Amino acid sequence: MRYSGGQGYLAFATDMNGNYQIGLLDLKSGQTSFLTDSPSPGDAEPRWSLDGQLLYFVSGRDQSSGYVIYSAKRDGSSQQPLIQVPGRNTINAGFAVSPDGRQALFHTNRDGNFEIYVTDIDGRSPRNLTNHPANDVTAVWSPDGAKIIFASDRQDNEYQLFEMNLDGSGIAPFISAPGTSNYAPRFSPSGKRLAFITRESLVGAPQIAVYEMSTGRFDIVTNGFDTHARPDWINDSTLVYASRVSEGVPWGIFSLDFEKRIRTTLLAGRGNFTDPAWIND
């Protein structure tokens, strides 16, 4: 299960001890630790603050509240609910911190369908940006903070990538490929590339594609056979993501330098490892 080499920290979700919990891998030492210990269905989707001192994650620990976004210190202490709907069972997920660290995006079904919301980084003043009968999910900020990229099934019931202004205006297609679904965008550290999941509608395994911002073209960088999910970036040519060969086989977390075509196993073994979130430190 352990990997050592390089530097940085990898947050992840795993059910190796039963319920899904948030774990942390120190790449330098190869040591893993577990930051949460929640009742079923547990915790998932870790995301870092800009300074790497806080983790945000989704928790279903209080089943009367649905799925709530929590914050915690990097050692797992000071866990507290950040985004929820008091008295209602809702899903709140997809937390993404703005480039200046002052705001965050998330998606929620509190209005009946999934919408993109923006909130202050402390969870205050949440506001619906999309207000559309379709489902809008997995939003990220452009690195310059000028645009928001998100996935929506408003076009032929297939998820495609759209862009919008920070106030929710000016929604327009960003990546639209008929016959496929495209979602889960993540910008590279420089902002020159965008990774996302692409899948032929109803057939084929989800793959990771990389979009070049300078040319407007994208290529699939994974093998086309395994199932891939949750891409994040280590650097501008190296991705970290979850992958498995088929249903019933546990998820593992891998890195891929797609320019050198070098794939490395980071976490695999007993149980599932998924939802990787990388930070250099």
CATH number (domain holding residue 36): 2.120.10.30
Which one, of 156, 114, 110, lies nearest residue 132 by Cα?
Answer: 114
Cβ(25)–Cβ(35) below 8 Å: no
pLDDT of 3 > 50? The answer is no
In a domain, 2, yes or no: no
pLDDT score at 220: 96
User: For the whole prediction, is pTM greater than 0.85?
Assistant: yes
Give the Cα separation of 281 and 275 in Å (integer).
Answer: 19
Average pLDDT estimate for 40-59 = 97
Average pLDDT estimate for 111-138 = 97
pLDDT of 72 > 90? The answer is yes
Host domain of residue 173 = 9-279
Count of alpha carbons within 13 angstroms of residue 104, beta-carbon side: 26
* Domains in the chain, number: 1
In a domain, 124, yes or no: yes
Average pLDDT estimate for 196-200 = 95
